[in-house]
Structure 1
């Protein structure tokens, strides 16, 4: 009898990408709608944008360090594809550097010109990001399913958790679960210890919803 090989749950990556897709869509619209001179609103949205940038940076760094080297060693025929993923990471990073510069200028003045320049930079970033996410989901995840072990795949998620400040973990969970299906939600919550799940349902879920209402109310 042939032994069944356990495969990584690659849908996890789709759920993570869903967060970046949603926030990269929302951020330029929220920034563009901010009133001129409303520095409090500018600071609030700049804080959210920086959390988004930090999360995307950690996500791509984990791939660069833990995923691409393993795939390059195991999928010779697809090496060009993997190298293209690395190059796309560089493009996205360069776009985010511009966003960071625009954020600093806008939150200081809340001026119209600074606001509009930031919104444009965020839209350009989203265009670059979607090209990468679409290609990664279409071509890389099947390779991960075939060539990466469950333990190796889990290391990516563990890396992200380790780099997330403890006071941001419930917010991160809220972002992941916002658009998750019931099955996806169960997959994310089931590995958590009971106290962590109780904390999510009693505190984290409401706190996340409250913060998002504040941020997304234009």
Structure 2
């Protein structure tokens, strides 16, 4: 069987969606269209930090876990240098966003700087992920074995933040995709989504409100 790429596709969708959504919120806060008390600012800072940490972890996992598997499986069929270069270019933006996130409410320019950096990050992620999925998904499906893919997914999950990542997968998955995930993962996934989803929804309401 070919590797099931649904988990990676949903991870990409959550990264893109949350980065764009947070960029819009920070732009509204910087422009005075939204207000935030200390609790909301703290929640935004924590969310932005976890988001950036997750993106960095994802790219590290691709560079050091997934890429070697693809090269070993597909050989001359693939050149990953441009995608790895993209990862390196994104790191300074992730660091800038995290730095200003910790200074929300303390540094007057923090919200605006975050808005600009997040907007740039969102644009770059859109371009990078669209290229990656267009170029690599067919190669993975053709050349990477299912056991190798399962090993990649297991290795990648070791450094992730389940409490942050899983509810976002549930948020961004379509009903048919969620049903497929549940069939593959069994009842434990439904239980985790229920348990983790409550806190996730409360945090989302605090951070984004109607934004």
TM superposition score category, shorter chain reference: 0.7 to 0.9
8 Å CA contact retained: 1:37, 1:110:
no
Deviations 1:5-40 (CA, angstroms, capped at 9, x unpaired) = x10012332111110111011111222333678443
1:33–1:84 CA distance, 2 compared to 1 (3 A):
same
Instruction: Measure, in 2, the Cα distance between the counterparts of 1:68 and 1:58.
Output: 14
Task: Give 1:64's aligned residue.
Answer: 63
Instruction: Measure, in 2, the Cα distance between the counterparts of 1:159 and 1:74.
Output: 17
Higher deviation after alignment, 70-79 or 146-155: 70-79
8 Å CA contact retained: 1:42, 1:110:
no
**Alignment match of 2:106 (pick from 96, 105, 109):** 109
**What aligned pairs does 1:11-90 form with structure 2 within 5 A after superposition?**
11-34=6-29, 38-80=37-79, 82-90=80-88
For the residue of structure 1 that corresponds to 2:4, the secondary structure is coil
Q: Which has the larger radius of gyration?
A: 1
Higher deviation after alignment, 45-54 or 150-159: 150-159
TM superposition score normalised by structure 2: 0.85
Report the number of matched residues. 206
* Cα RMSD for the two superposed structures: 2.3
Higher deviation after alignment, 207-216 or 139-148: 207-216
TM superposition score normalised by structure 1: 0.83
**Alignment match of 2:197 (pick from 177, 202, 205):** 205
1:109–1:38 CA distance, 2 compared to 1 (3 A):
farther
Task: Give 2:147's aligned residue.
Answer: 151
1:63–1:103 CA distance, 2 compared to 1 (3 A):
same
Deviations 1:66-117 (CA, angstroms, capped at 9, x unpaired) = 211222234344443x11111111111222122222223x325152x22111
For the residue of structure 2 that corresponds to 1:178, the secondary structure is helix
For the residue of structure 2 that corresponds to 1:143, the secondary structure is helix
8 Å CA contact retained: 1:91, 1:128:
no
Does 2:168 align with 1:175? Answer: yes
Unaligned runs of 5+ in 1: 1-5
